[in-house]
Amino acid sequence: MGDNVIPLADLRYLAPVPVVPTDAAAPSGLLADLRGRPLRDLRISVTDRCNFRCSYCMPKEVFDRDYQFLPQSSLLSFEEITRAARLFAAHGVQKLRLTGGEPLLRKHLERLIEMLAALRTPDGVPLDLTLTTNGSLLTRKAQALANAGLQRITVSLDALDDAIFRRMNDVDFPVADVLAGIDAALAAGLRSVKVNMVVKRGTNEQEVLPMARHFRDRYGPAVTLRFIEFMDVGATNGWRMDEVLPSAELQRRIHEVFALAPLQAAQPGETAERWRYQDGRGEIGLISSVTQPFCGDCNRARLSTEGKLYLCLFASRGHDLRALLRGQGPDGHAWTDAEIAAALGLIWAQRDDRYSELRSAGTLPAGERRVEMHYIGG
């Protein structure tokens, strides 16, 4: 393929090349957007492929065998990802989350984890390095991930009932294998294991209490279960408001069986509202981006599989960071770290995203196609 030929898949989400300012100051770690929100969290999608076909993310009728995923040449290399992460760290990012698609489908991912684990903040502190997975490959990979420097992991699991789970992942994958992956993550010594359940009214809401009971009784404080409201991410998941089970209702259902008490947020910008079991058997989290938007302190940026930077999970447009990582300036020189860092600073400083607040207020602009979740991660 010639240098000037753009793969068709790259045209899926066209994005402008970031402006490189000529007079920007060096990163201070104090960068803030137009609403005063700092940049603290970078979510990096390492692949747009997944081996599940969950209806709320990659429905099979859209992502079928004919669907054109990104070619390997389009994906950011591990070196490019690490370089970008280092520049984000200079601007104040403290946490990196690897996502997909299913990130464990990316070959030799432990090499990337080793590279990212070596990064430091300007104060010399290691970055908080975590990964989100559907758990299908975790039994065979958990120890290698931990050995490479992964600190924390989040496993997606939407039901304990095997029939419901197989129906939701739509590839007939058994729940027992995901549970085995969770055990493997704990055995590997990862210091934090979380489980995310997307709750869809009329589909798996009957699994809320069995999930709470299982993780509370089997693992106690060792595993935190988090319930996520069904979100209108992308344009292919057939989202309807009447399929959203509000977190407040979900909390009441659990509290009637297992008494809960509220906990303070662990850190600013945390997405989950925390509740502890009053008998000391751990805690749960509630992620309520539909009914209780948390745009006001959102400090997250997202880097897509092939290097487009998005400032919101519900964004319709991104910024082509890969063009700077691989491209040249007007005088023919490769863009320097300082120049790319300046471009990142300008992008974040102009950020004004607050999709969930606008949705709640009924003031969203019409006709914009939002980016798909599998492309930038959750």
pLDDT, one tens digit per residue, over 63-122 is 898 888 999 999 999 999 999 999 999 999 999 999 999 999 999 999 999 999 999 999
Share of the chain above pLDDT 90, in %: 70
Residue 158 contacts by C-beta under 8 Å, 6 or more apart in sequence? 54, 164, 165, 168, 169, 197, 198, 199, 200, 204, 207
Total number of residues shown for the chain: 378
Q: Is the pLDDT at 237 greater than 80, yes or no?
A: no
The answer to whether residues 32 and 298 touch, using CB atoms and an 8 Å cutoff, is: no
Contact 359, 232 (CB under 8 A): yes
Q: What is the mean pLDDT of residues 213-220?
A: 97
Condensed to tens digits (0 to 9), the pLDDT of residues 241-298 reads 778 899 999 999 999 999 999 999 877 767 889 999 999 999 999 998 787 777 888 9
Residue position matching structure tokens 């106690």: 220
- Tell which CATH architecture fits domain 8-376: Alpha-Beta Barrel (3.20)
Give the pLDDT confidence of 135-170 residue by residue, as tens digits. Answer: 999 999 999 999 999 999 999 999 999 999 999 999
| pLDDT value for 342 | 96
Instruction: Give which of 82, 94, 81 is closest to 130, Cα–Cα.
Output: 94
Closest CA to 344 of 16, 15, 18: 18
Q: Which residues contact 300 (CB under 8 A, 6 or more apart)?
A: 40, 41, 42, 43, 269, 313
pLDDT score at 25: 83
- Token digits of residue 114: 């080793």
Residue 1 banded pLDDT, cuts 50, 70, 90 = very low
* pLDDT band of 370, cuts 50, 70, 90: low
Q: How confident is the model at residue 6 (pLDDT cuts 50, 70, 90)?
A: very low
- What is the number of alpha carbons within 13 Å of residue 66 lying toward its C-beta? 2
Q: pLDDT by residue (tens digit) across 8-54?
A: 444 566 889 999 998 878 899 889 999 999 999 999 999 999 999 98
Q: How far apart are CA 286 and CA 48, in angstroms?
A: 26
Q: Which two tokens stand for residue 346?
A: 């300008």
351-372 per-residue burial string, b: 16 or more CB within 10 A, e: under 16? bebbbbeebbeeeeeeeeebbb
Instruction: Please provide the DSSP assignment of 149-218 as one string.
Output: T--EEEEE---SSHHHHHHHHSS---HHHHHHHHHHHHHTT-SEEEEEEEEBTTTTGGGHHHHHHHHHHH
Cα–Cα distance for residue pair 140/138, rounded to 1 Å: 5
Predicted pLDDT of residue 165: 96
Phi and psi torsions of 145, nearest 5°: -65, -45
CA torsion, points 207, 213, 214, 218, in degrees to nearest 10? Answer: 170
Q: Are 145 and 113 in contact (CB under 8 A)?
A: yes
Strand order in the sheet with 128-133: 260-262, 273-277, 283-287, 223-229, 192-199, 152-156, 128-133, 95-99, 41-45, 300-303, 308-310, 319-320
- 171 CA to centre of own chain: 22
Number of neighbouring beta carbons within 10 Å of residue 180: 15
Helix axes 337-349, 78-90, angle to 10 degrees: 60
Give me the residues paired with residue 276 across strands.
261, 283
CA atoms lying within 13 Å on the CB side of residue 214: 17
